[in-house]
Structure 1
Amino acid sequence: MAILTVFTPAYNRAHTLSRTYQSLKEQNCKDFVWLIVDDGSTDNTAEIVKKWQDEESGFDIQYVYKENGGMHTAHNTAYENIHTELNVCIDSDDMMAKDGVEKILTAWENVRNKGYAGLIALDADFEGNIIGKRFPEAMKETTLGGYYASGGKGDKKLIYRTDVIKSVPAYPVFKGEKYTGLSYKYIVVDQQYKLFVLNEVVCNVEYQEDGSSNTMYLQYLKNPNGFAFMRRVNLMYPTSKKRLLMECIHYCSSSQIAHNRNYIKESPRKALTILCTPLGWCLTAYIRRKARMER
């Protein structure tokens, strides 16, 4: 039985998914499962995946279709269908780096009985440039939040034990919304476990221009409950006093946009939430103004 599941959420990315497939075919170690979660695509994703399933790729390809609900719902579906010891997400516009699977499995074999939640490794762009920076040589273990709090930069690749990531409740789904931050599960895991540092590139990434970061203020308006949920989680586990204040202001704003009259009662920092409420209204006005410019 394979140890690792590589899962790929996909929404209308048939034009890029083929390079993800090609990078997996080129792995020297094929001891993995590739799980594609189709988040309601209307292109020919299903057709091309069926073609790949009929080929001799050397690894098992699993395909699950679901109604479109956003990245967090695709992750929920993925976790429901993963049964291997480890899992890693490779997005539908990214590639597994050369020998990436072997690097992951070799590192895990050396530490699998030491109580880690998994591995944290490097991402690089398609030219091989590290995203952010490498881990310090002296850093052998860390939490994700601890890494960034210590000055770490850039997206990193997270390889989690499936039992650990499943122990955290699923990402909440709010009616009419398509966003809840993926960091929710990672933050909760951080409270109990550390990650072993793999100072190697295991994924090559490309950021698409059609990503949600280009319409962030509109996203705030379209998904206020999802953002408020994440702010509430961050209020429970703040990384600094400055971040605590910023998260609370954003929590007030998102809750106001969502018309949630109970947000003070629901806040884990009630006194601070009361103090930040006027600033939340100011932020809400700013978000609405900026969102009009994004339409």
Structure 2
Amino acid sequence: MDHLLITIFTPTYNRAILLPRLYASLKNQSIQNFEWVVVDDGSSDSTEEVVKGFEAENRIPIQYIKKDNEGKHLAINKGVKLAQGDLFFIVDSDDYLTPNATQLIANYYPKIKHRDDFAGMSFRRGISATEYIGTNRTFDDIEATALDFRFKHRIDGDMAEVFKTSLLKLYPFPKIANEKFCSEGLVWNRIALKYKLLWTSNIIYIGEYLADGLTDSSIRVRQQSPQYAILGYSELSKMPIPFLQKVKAVVNYWRFAHFSALPFRDKWRSVNPFLSLVAMPLSFIFRIKDPK
């Protein structure tokens, strides 16, 4: 196999009916210097047969592995270990790419390839090739950490991050027994403490629009995986972000700490006590409104 520039990684769970659309978008890429790594997180549908059918076409290099259902974050860990590309690009099974996605990645990569202070690049997601998800405006290329991009440049919405594979190998997601949801932001924020990304407003990733904030389903999965939730909010509250965002992080910390079996003393030690005194009453209001 020739040297690969990109590993396009797809974690999937019971999405056999949607995978052909993503596969079609990969076959239509303007440059083909990539592999597709699919980690099946314990699907009970025909995902394996569908992907084996793709492999039989021999159009693009595919690595497929099926594992027990443990959550997307641990599937990412597995994908990073399998990856042979210089760059690692997560594309969910219910989304797809624009035809020029890999070409744009290849065009931008030389700008940060040899810069040790860069973790990778980030493009935009859209509900179409011309309609952004999140902040609806173009911008000149920005060199910034993920934290500064969000809180100083004030651009929000899900992005299409493309990381250096070698760096992601140094930042695996932690494994917490009996919990299956860990926000990707946990690791992306850790990376942001040391590394920048090159941000561009080019749309390369097409997906479903999700309203800002915590949706009902997102709240429920955090309730069911409270250790991951409070770990993420605890770390975020200590990062170099605006004070109001620290307060919000601590509010959400206590919002989901209610579902954790950790002793209260351990919870209290994990966040700023002053902020907790402000945030705990607010978190109680959210808990009343949250889905049960």
Same fold (TM over 0.5): yes
**Structure 2 unaligned blocks of 5 or more:** none
Aligned residue number for residue 161 of structure 2: 158
Partner of 1:222: 224
Q: For 1:287 and 1:61, how far apart are their aligned partners in 2?
A: 44
Q: Which residue of 1 aligns with 2:82?
A: 81
Q: Which residue pairs with 2:42 in the alignment?
A: 40
* Cα separation, 1, equivalents of 2:158 and 2:207: 10
Query: Residues 76-127 of structure 1: CA distance to partner in whole angstroms, max 9, x if unpaired?
Result: 2212212321110111011111111011012102431233211111112136
In 2: Cα distance, 1:140 partner to 1:272 partner = 32
Give how far 1:144 is off.
Answer: 1.6
In 2, the alpha carbon distance for the partners of 1:196 and 1:217 equals: 31
Q: Which has the higher helix share?
A: 1
Matches within 5 A, 1:240-279: 240-261=242-263, 262-264=265-267, 266-273=269-276, 275-276=277-278, 278-279=280-281
The answer as to whether partners of 2:119 and 2:167 remain within 8 angstroms in 1 is yes
Question: Any idea what SS the aligned residue of 1:98 has?
Answer: coil
Q: Please tell me whether the aligned partners of residues 165 and 185 of structure 1 are also in contact (alpha carbons under 8 angstroms).
A: no
Match of 2:290 in 1: 290
Query: Contact 1:35–1:62 (CA<8 Å) still a contact in 2?
Result: yes
CA distance in 2, matches of 1:15, 1:264: 42
Aligned partner of residue 6 in structure 1, secondary structure: strand
- Provide the TM-score with structure 1 as the length reference: 0.88
> Which among 6, 17, 20 is matched to residue 18 of structure 1?
20
- Distance in 2, matches of 1:117 and 1:232, equals 23
Aligned residue type for 1:51: G
Task: Specify the alignment match of 2:143 in structure 1.
Answer: 141
CA deviations on 1:228-281 (whole Å, 9 max, x unpaired) are: 1111111221521111112112223322321211334541524433x2574276
- Bigger drift between 185-194 and 261-270 goes to 261-270
8 A Cα contact 2:10 2:91, kept in partner: yes
1:116-142 residue CA offsets vs partner (Å, 9 max, x unmatched): 2111111121363122234422x4312
Q: Point out where structure 1 has 5 or more consecutive residues left out of the alignment.
A: none
Moved segments of 4+, more than 3 Å:
270-273
* Mapped contact 1:125–1:206 kept (Cα < 8 A): yes
Deviations 1:134-160 (A, max 9, x none): 4422x4312222111121122211000
Instruction: Answer whether contact 1:23 1:98 (CA < 8 A) is retained.
Output: yes
Q: Provide the secondary structure at the position in 2 that maps to 1:9.
A: strand
**Alpha-carbon separation, structure 1, partners of 2:46 and 2:278:** 48
Aligned partner of 2:291: which letter?
A
Q: Secondary structure at the match of 1:198?
A: strand
* Stretch deviating more after TM superposition (17-26 or 222-231): 222-231
Aligned mates of 1:280, 1:260 — CA distance in 2: 21
Whether contact under 8 Å (2:4, 2:84) holds in the other structure is no
Residue in 2 that maps onto 1:119? 121
What number of residue pairs does the alignment pair up? 284
Per-residue displacement from partner, 1:150-171 (whole Å, max 9, x unpaired)? 2112221100001222222x22
2:170 to 162, 167, 170: 167
CA RMSD of aligned residues (A): 2.2
- TM superposition score normalised by structure 2: 0.89
2:61 paired residue number: 60
For 1:191 and 1:208, the matched residues in 2 are separated by 27
Secondary structure at 1:154's aligned position in 2? Answer: coil
Counterpart CA distance in 2 for 1:208 and 1:241 is: 26
Percent identity between the two aligned chains: 24
Letter matched to residue 68 of structure 1: N
CA distance in 1, matches of 2:208, 2:226: 28
Amino acid at match of 1:180: C
In 1: Cα distance, 2:98 partner to 2:280 partner: 48
Alignment of 1:159-238 (within 5 A): 159-168=162-171, 170-207=172-209, 213-238=215-240
